[in-house]
Structure 1
């Protein structure tokens, strides 16, 4: 092997060393979530001033992380970090609607505290909401690190660019995939194994809408696969389990898969 091979690896190593580890980045996000929802932490704050100081530290840490990535030469990272933290009250409001949707929609949920502390759906939604906000501020790399971390923890894969409205409810969640250009309205409930995907994954489609739109008040049951950027699930529809959809459905539709099932009675 020649020296050029080793030089290429060393150059990449220097770039990697400058960027905080994925563990540091996800730890920062976890601290933000724990400040918003102290149900996830035993840390106690005794004053508004103390909380303000904690958020200020996290803003400084975000600025450091963004500067270290060096993925954007002319970006005003200081204002982007400030903007992210200024919109936290709205992010907090939306996350609380997600908590309410899960608590109201799941008979097994005994309290909102339980939802916050134990539900993988809320964990994944929390990281998605943080990542989506960073995505909207054109922060590179970090949003994908955050949503992929949630993916590894929960099996729920939500692209940070997906547009998801409030009162979002994921039940069970394992195996859910929500693609980059998906749009999801208010009061939508997804069960495990749902895919909102693309009909084609060709690279030249990167800047086109490739994933479905799901309107308000839709329920999609486990294993349903809905594909295509022009596919719209009309509001107040119910999509049954294991359905395969590549065409739009009208509002108030019920779509279901009807397999042929035989039950044989054993002779005595």
Structure 2
């Protein structure tokens, strides 16, 4: 796609209609310069240095096609050319990803005033993308387990193909598995962009730092939020509007938040959390527990618990009577 602007800085933009654009462009330049001064960004590179959301969206689309060629690949694909398509598509996607990784590493080095050379950045980017690539077969195995969990977990599902093609929870977990891999490999900005692509299309917000076991299924999905340090075990099922969030945000003396601390729930294997439940803080939901709808929970519960609004009310009443 060609760019519809003149790259010669000495040529002014000429509009067909008088919108007073010279004045607006000048004011916007002034505001940008103010921001750059305040942010210590006076030494701009003279070109866009950040990764591209559009490019990453295309990369993820191609990776999905390569992972599931006969279901998410092109309509005219035939089985006899499946391997060729997968190889060709992966080569194109990984080459684009390499460029995006280099952009993030260069940007990160500049932000942190690291003195990495161009050669060092390219070498590190190559290592990251190679590690990402060799992880794709195992990622596909885990996604197969996720897809089967969605099929068996929803009585309305007619086939695994329907689940893969239609379910927003499956779209979200595919994006998350790819994003989490990037996050673990040291490119968190790319990972966050991939996560937000899924968030935009599904309404499911999973931070790429969250650790999620296999057989994970989000039914319906809209409004689900899973925080950065959440740890989710095997065969866990969530319904719409579930939040696995943080209860408090510790700050230093200047008011700046401490980042990266464990602050989100641990959900053990075989847990079901129904619609609208909110679980906050570094609490543990024990294996095999069932958390009812619209529950507000800020404490750990043991394995095999069945938490409902009625049980919470009874606990509160018992606690009050004990205090009396």
Give the structure-1-normalised TM-score.
0.89
Q: 2:290 aligns with which of 229, 235, 238?
A: 238
- Which moved further from structure 2: 179-188 or 251-260? 251-260
Q: Which residue of 2 aligns with 1:64?
A: 99
Q: 1:250 aligns with which of 299, 302, 307?
A: 302
Given the superposition, is the C-alpha separation of residues 62 and 43 from structure 1 closer, same or farther in structure 2, using an over 3 Å criterion? farther
The superposition leaves residues 120-149 of structure 1 with CA deviations (integer Å, 9 ceiling, x where unpaired) of 000011111100000010013111111111
Given the superposition, is the C-alpha separation of residues 157 and 16 from structure 1 closer, same or farther in structure 2, using an over 3 Å criterion? farther
Q: 1:19 aligns with which of 34, 37, 50?
A: 50
Contact kept, 8 Å, 1:243 with 1:256, in 2: the verdict is yes
- Which moved further from structure 2: 8-17 or 205-214? 8-17
Query: What CA distance in whole angstroms lies between the structure 1 residues aligned with 2:63 and 2:76?
Result: 13
Query: What CA distance in whole angstroms lies between the structure 2 residues aligned with 1:8 and 1:205?
Result: 28
Q: 1:153 aligns with which of 201, 204, 211?
A: 201
The superposition leaves residues 157-180 of structure 1 with CA deviations (integer Å, 9 ceiling, x where unpaired) of 000000000000100011100000
Q: 1:185 aligns with which of 224, 230, 233?
A: 233
Given the superposition, is the C-alpha separation of residues 15 and 184 from structure 1 closer, same or farther in structure 2, using an over 3 Å criterion? farther
Q: Which residue of 1 aligns with 2:265?
A: 212
Contact kept, 8 Å, 1:71 with 1:140, in 2: the verdict is no
Q: How does 1:170-181 map to 2 (within 5 A)?
A: 170-181=218-229
Q: Which residue of 2 aligns with 1:221?
A: 274
| Alignment of 1:107 onto 2:155 | yes
| Alignment of 1:162 onto 2:202 | no
Give the structure-2-normalised TM-score.
0.74
Aligned length: 259
Contact kept, 8 Å, 2:275 with 2:294, in 1: the verdict is yes
| Alignment of 1:32 onto 2:63 | yes
The superposition leaves residues 229-261 of structure 1 with CA deviations (integer Å, 9 ceiling, x where unpaired) of 1x100000000001111110010110001399x
| Alignment of 1:7 onto 2:39 | no
- Which moved further from structure 2: 143-152 or 163-172? 143-152
The superposition leaves residues 182-234 of structure 1 with CA deviations (integer Å, 9 ceiling, x where unpaired) of 000000000001000101134543131000000000000001010111x1000
Given the superposition, is the C-alpha separation of residues 2 and 199 from structure 1 closer, same or farther in structure 2, using an over 3 Å criterion? closer
Q: Which residue of 1 aligns with 2:133?
A: 85
Larger relative contact order, structure 1 or 2 (CA cutoff 8 Å, min sep 6): 1
Given the superposition, is the C-alpha separation of residues 4 and 160 from structure 1 closer, same or farther in structure 2, using an over 3 Å criterion? same
| Alignment of 1:44 onto 2:77 | yes
Contact kept, 8 Å, 1:224 with 1:242, in 2: the verdict is yes
Query: What CA distance in whole angstroms lies between the structure 1 residues aligned with 2:52 and 2:34?
Result: 20
Query: What CA distance in whole angstroms lies between the structure 2 residues aligned with 1:23 and 1:2?
Result: 24
